[in-house]
Each structure stands twice: as C-alpha cells, then as structure tokens.
C-alpha cells in the first residue's frame, strides 16, 4: 500500500495535519515512501550513495517525508502543471519533459500535478557534495527548470537499468561526482560557496601541465587532476578556469589534439596508433574528435602538410 498517497486530489489547500506529521519521519531511502509507484530501480546495485528509480502513477496528492539524500527529479513525458511545497516554501511550475526539480536533503515535500506522474529520481548522498566542494554545501530548492545536464545523467542511468549494464561501482561513482559538481555549481546556496577562490600557483599549474603532457593516454577526469594538487574537484575546476582560461576537459582535449596534429604532420604513424597514443578508444572516435577540433579529417590534414 502506498501510504503517502491521498485517494482524492480534490481541493486547493494542503492538509496541515498530514503535513505536520511528516516532521516526525526521516527516510534513508525516499523510494520507501512511494513503493507502489516505482516501475524500475537501481536497488541491489553496488552503487555507493546513488539510487535511481522511475516513478509512474496517476493523479493524487503526495505528502513525502524528508529523506537523508538530496532528491533530483526529472520529468519524462508530457507537460504538467505542478504545485509543490518544499519545507516552508510553496511554488508552482509548468514542467516540460527534461525539466528538473531539486528537493534538498531533510526537506519534506508536497506534490499536486495536473497530469499523471512520470519522473526519474536520482537520490544522492550529501557526502558526494562534500567531496566535490571540499566542505559542507547546502542546496536550495528548485521547483522546476530546464536542465539538460541533469536530464542527460538521468538518461544514461535509465539506459543502464534497461540494458542491465554498467554494474560496477566505478560507473556510478563517476556519475555521482558529475552530478555533485553540477549541483554545487548551479544549485548550492550562496552562503555555502567560496566565490573568492585563488588562482592556481605557478607550481600547481606546472604540475598539471607536466602530468597531462606525460600521459595523454590517461583518462584525466576532474577528480584525478584535482587529486594531483590535493584540492576538491569543485575548487580545482574553478581555480583551473581562472588560471588557464578554459575548463580542465577543454585543456586536456587541446593537448591531445595538438599532439595528434604533430604526429599526423611529422610521422607516418597509422591513425590507430595516433588514436591510442592520444587517449582515444578507437580510430573512429579519434577521427571524429580531430575533425571537430581542426575542421578537417586526419587524412585531409596529413595530405595538406
């Protein structure tokens, strides 16, 4: 039985007594509140601090207790008008497919929609945000807005569930850190972010430059680069951009492309060999990236040299 669903959605007011009852509850797993509505879930997978589940249900008011996790909710199908209350704040929104809602940890919520429920939930342990930012971060509520990045993460995670693949903890760790970094940068409350970050020192910049140059084959994630300097990924990303004028990902790509162009121009190495040396998984991926960066294929570039 779905004990948090009211059988009739009628009326414009929130049941105050029912709302106050939520204060005495705190869920480890938000999914527990809506078990009858869960169509598929990542429960049982060895994913640390991340749970993904797909909610499908009809109309009706929902009173959902606070949870220990941050709840990221993505609309999947048709648009809907949505009345929400999160904690002490009430808001309305017209949700389009791909729009995101953020319910911070330990926040009760009320939901009333004009269309059937069809949402993907990503429940993230707050420890991921602490790891990303290097300190405690509080999220602000979001009652619905377009967020293609969060929608993209949700799409990848659903694809993993549907295909029963990507079961290793490292897969979820990568997604969790990406989601955490995005939340810290875009949804954290201003008083929990240090916006006066220093630039990287010359020594720190040299460490990054030399590390990337010495191993272009490596999968240089933001977390791995930040670890070189013993900084949090969030602080590293912001300080890196101020120091280099570009993002870590764009910098690594530029170094790979410069090396690839040099090998293409100055050697007779095959494109498979060049792809492997510059960190690309296949010649096709390498060729696509080369053309996107330089505007021509590797073959055309070589012929023109």
CATH number at 203 reads: 1.10.10.60
Instruction: Mark whether 246 and 272 lie in a shared domain.
Output: yes
Averaged pLDDT, 85-89: 91
Q: Domain range holding 34?
A: 16-192
Q: Supply the CATH number for residue 67's domain.
A: 2.60.120.10
DSSP states of 205-219 as a string? HHHHHHHHHH-TTS-
Confidence category of residue 6, pLDDT binned at 50, 70, 90? very low
Instruction: Give the tens place of pLDDT for each residue, 268-292.
Output: 999 999 999 999 989 999 999 999 8
Please tell me the total count of domains within the chain: 2
Under the banding of pLDDT at 50, 70 and 90, the label for residue 4 is very low
Helices (H), the chain: 16-21, 126-133, 148-163, 169-187, 202-214, 222-228, 233-244, 248-266, 271-277, 283-294, 298-303
pLDDT score recorded for residue 179: 95
Tokens of 4: 């948090």
pTM, full prediction? 0.68
Of 131 and 69, more confident:
69
The pair of structure tokens assigned to 77 is 């199908």
Please check whether residue 4 lies inside any domain of the structure.
no
Listed range (15-29, 109-123, 272-286) with the worst mean pLDDT? 15-29
């Amino acid at each position: 039985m779905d004990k948090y669903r009211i059988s009739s959605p009628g009326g414009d007011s929130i049941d105050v007594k029912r709302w106050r009852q939520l204060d005495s509850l705190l869920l480890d797993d938000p999914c527990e509140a809506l078990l009858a509505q869960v169509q598929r879930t990542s429960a049982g997978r060895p994913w640390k601090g991340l749970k993904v589940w797909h909610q499908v249900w009809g109309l009706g008011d929902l009173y959902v207790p606070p949870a220990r996790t941050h709840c990221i909710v993505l609309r999947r199908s048709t648009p809907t008008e949505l009345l929400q209350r999160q904690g002490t704040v009430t808001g309305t929104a017209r949700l389009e497919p791909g729009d995101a809602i953020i319910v911070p940890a330990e926040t009760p919520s009320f939901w009333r929609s004009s269309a059937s429920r069809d949402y993907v939930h990503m429940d993230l342990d707050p420890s991921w945000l602490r790891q990303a930012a290097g300190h405690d971060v509080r999220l602000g509520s979001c009652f619905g807005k377009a967020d293609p990045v969060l929608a993209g993460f949700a799409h990848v995670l659903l694809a993993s569930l549907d295909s029963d693949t990507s079961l290793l903890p490292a897969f979820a760790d990568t997604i969790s850190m990406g989601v955490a970094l995005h939340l810290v940068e875009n949804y954290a409350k201003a008083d929990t972010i240090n916006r006066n970050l220093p630039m990287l020192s010359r020594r720190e910049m040299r460490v990054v430059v030399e590390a990337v140059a010495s191993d272009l084959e490596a999968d240089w994630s933001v977390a791995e680069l930040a670890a070189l300097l013993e900084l949090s990924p969030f602080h590293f990303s912001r300080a890196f951009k101020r120091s280099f004028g570009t993002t870590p990902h764009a910098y690594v790509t530029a170094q790979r492309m410069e090396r690839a162009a040099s090998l293409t121009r100055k050697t007779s190495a095959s494109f498979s060999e060049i792809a492997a040396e510059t960190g690309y998984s296949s010649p096709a991926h390498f060729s696509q990236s080369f053309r996107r960066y330089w505007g021509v294929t590797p073959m055309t570039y070589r012929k023109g040299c």
